[in-house]
């Protein structure tokens, strides 16, 4: 049984109806997508701004109601958006650690909330539990009575992780958890996450825009473009042997020491307009391999080789 199973999940944000005429069709932030995350796995989700990765994350934890589709956690379907129902099973670590902590609450108050609200735990038990969690994220208990502004970004992110752990979830959604951190601190947090996963038997969905980070932490990776999954594959092979031209473009664009500077994309093209999406494959306008069929028909996600799926009419050969 997979830890998380997403079936046909989609989100369309309605647009404001103009004064005259019919309402426009709305922005399809997440197009219908299906995937699953196995227990104990880290699934990386990578994509550029506007690809729908944050919308996806917010739907998965119940902060946003899907337009269609279902979310199943360990076989249990969760289809209404209710963070409290989701909270015990799935938790969220935010991108901006300081913004995710109420500036007027002590860390202890922040930590107690899930224990009190989700588990109705009495005070002595709560204290014991908080002490345990703090020890596991390498934070001193003295921090508990301080306010968020007294912490650095890295410390605040540990607190954010500790809060997620307090709810004792099965799955944690990590939404760009290290993007706001300096590289030296980033490595600390990534290592901590790896340790916690091992110790608590967690399942991660790791969302980021950083290819190197996602490759370093994931088992499998999903590549999103314009609200849709364009490729799914094993972390160790997907960027080395991409099947979708967009994945290849991403991999070629990442600055790597020792690789000469080239512009992988010679045409200076722009992203598709979400208000006016192109028919067919959304990447066709930027794609060197695009043909007529790409501009007409949206390609379906199809298996290509071992453990790899891509949504492309003209996939790259390996």
Partner 1 sequence: MSAFLNLLFRNRLAAMGAVVLAVIVALVLLTPLLPLQDPDITATADRFKRPLTDGHILGTDHLGRDLLSRLLHGTRLSLAVGVAAALIAATIGSAIGIVAGYFGGRIDNVIMRGVDMLMAFPYILLALAIVAALGPGLMNALIAVAAVNVPFFARNIRGVTVGLAGREFIDAARLAGMGHTRILLTELLPNVLPVIIIAMSTTVGWMILETAGLSFLGLGSQPPQADLGSMLGEARSALISHPHTSVVPGIMIFLIVMSINLLGDGVRDALDPRLRSGALSRPRATTLVARKGDIPAPTDDLLAIQDLHTQFHVGERIYRAVGGVSLAVKPGECLGVIGESGSGKSVTALSVMGLVASPPGVITGGAVRFQGEDLIGAPYAALRAKRGDKVAYIFQDPLSTLHPLYRVGHQLAEAIRSHHRVPMAEARARAIQLLHDVRIPNAEARIDDFPHEMSGGMRQRVGIAMALANEPDVIIADEPTTALDVTVQAQILSLLDDLRRARGLAIIFITHDFGVVAQLCDRVAVMYAGRIVENGPTDAVLAAPAHPYTKRLIACVPELGGGRRELAAIPGLPPMVDDLPPGCAFAPRCDKAQEACRTGDIPLSGTPPRAVRCLYPEELV
Binding residues for partner 1 restricted to 76-135, rule: CB under 8 A: 83-84, 86-87, 91-92, 94-96, 99-105, 110, 113-114, 117-118
**What is the closest distance, in whole angstroms, from the C-beta atom of residue 299 to partner 1 in the complex?**
20
CA distance 140 to 173: 25
Q: Which of 186, 241, 247, 308 binds partner 1 (CB under 8 A)?
A: 186
Give least dist CB 249 to partner 1, A. Answer: 6
DSSP 39: T
x/- track of binding to partner 1 for residues 35-54 (CB under 8 A): -------------xx-----
Q: Does 263 bind partner 1 (CB under 8 A)?
A: yes
27 belongs to the binding site for partner 1 (CB under 8 A): no
Q: Which of 201, 264, 279, 305 binds partner 1 (CB under 8 A)?
A: 264
- Rounded to an integer, what distance in angstroms lies between the CA atom of residue 174 and that of residue 212? 16
Q: At what angle do helices 123-136 and 153-166 cross, to 10 degrees?
A: 130
Give least dist CB 262 to partner 1, A. Answer: 7
User: Quick one: 261 or 300, whose CB is closer to partner 1?
Assistant: 261
Residue (264 or 296) nearer to partner 1, CB:
264
Bridge partners (DSSP) of residue 225 are 228
> CB 104 → partner 1: shortest distance, Å?
4
**Which residue from 66, 154, 242, 280 is in contact with partner 1, where contact means CB under 8 A?**
154
Helix axes 123-136, 107-119, angle to 10 degrees: 120
Q: How far is the CB of 100 from partner 1 (least distance, A)?
A: 4
Q: Where are the beta strands (DSSP E) in the chain?
A: 4-13, 27-37, 42-46, 68-73, 76-78, 90-93, 171-175, 203-208, 220-225, 228-234, 302-303, 309-310
Choose, by CB under 8 A, the member of 139, 215, 290, 308 that binds partner 1: 215
The residue (of 121 and 301) whose beta carbon lies closer to partner 1 is 121
Q: Is 109 helix (H, G, I), strand (E, B) or coil?
A: helix
Q: Report yes or no: 7 and 72 within 8 Å, Cβ to Cβ.
A: yes
Q: Which is nearer to partner 1, 44 or 280 (CB)?
A: 44
- Cβ distance 62 to 78 under 8 Å? yes
Residue closer to partner 1 (CB basis): 3 or 217: 217
Nearest-CA neighbor of 171 among 237, 90, 258, 252? 90
């Amino acid at each position: 049984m997979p830890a998380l199973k997403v079936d046909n999940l989609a989100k369309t944000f309605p647009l404001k109806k103009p004064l005259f005429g019919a309402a426009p069709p709305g922005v399809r932030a997440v197009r219908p997508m299906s995937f699953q995350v196995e227990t104990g796995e880290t699934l990386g989700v990578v994509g550029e701004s506007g690809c729908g990765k944050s919308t996806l994350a917010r739907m998965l934890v119940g902060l946003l109601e899907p337009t269609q589709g279902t979310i199943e956690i360990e076989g249990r379907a969760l289809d209404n958006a209710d963070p409290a129902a989701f909270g015990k099973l799935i938790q969220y670590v935010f991108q901006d650690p300081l913004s995710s902590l109420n500036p007027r609450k002590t860390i202890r108050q922040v930590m107690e909330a899930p224990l009190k609200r989700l588990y109705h735990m009495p005070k002595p038990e709560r204290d014991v539990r908080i002490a345990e969690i703090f020890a596991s994220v390498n934070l001193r208990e003295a921090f508990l009575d301080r306010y968020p502004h007294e912490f650095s970004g890295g410390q605040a992110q540990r607190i954010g992780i500790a809060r997620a752990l307090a709810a004792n979830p099965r799955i944690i959604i990590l939404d760009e958890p290290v993007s706001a951190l300096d590289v030296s601190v980033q490595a600390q947090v990534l290592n901590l996450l790896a340790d916690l996963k091992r110790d608590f038997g967690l399942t991660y969905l790791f969302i980021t825009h950083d290819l190197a980070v996602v490759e370093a932490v994931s088992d499998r990776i999903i590549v999103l473009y314009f609200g849709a999954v364009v490729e799914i594959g094993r972390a160790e092979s997907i960027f080395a042997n991409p099947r979708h031209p967009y994945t290849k473009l991403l991999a070629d664009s990442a600055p790597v020491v020792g690789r000469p500077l080239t512009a992988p994309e010679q045409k200076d093209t722009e992203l598709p307009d979400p208000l006016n999406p192109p028919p067919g494959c959304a990447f066709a306008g930027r794609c060197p391999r695009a043909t007529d069929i790409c501009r007409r028909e949206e390609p379906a996600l199809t298996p290509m080789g071992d453990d790899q799926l891509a949504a492309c009419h003209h996939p790259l050969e390996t």
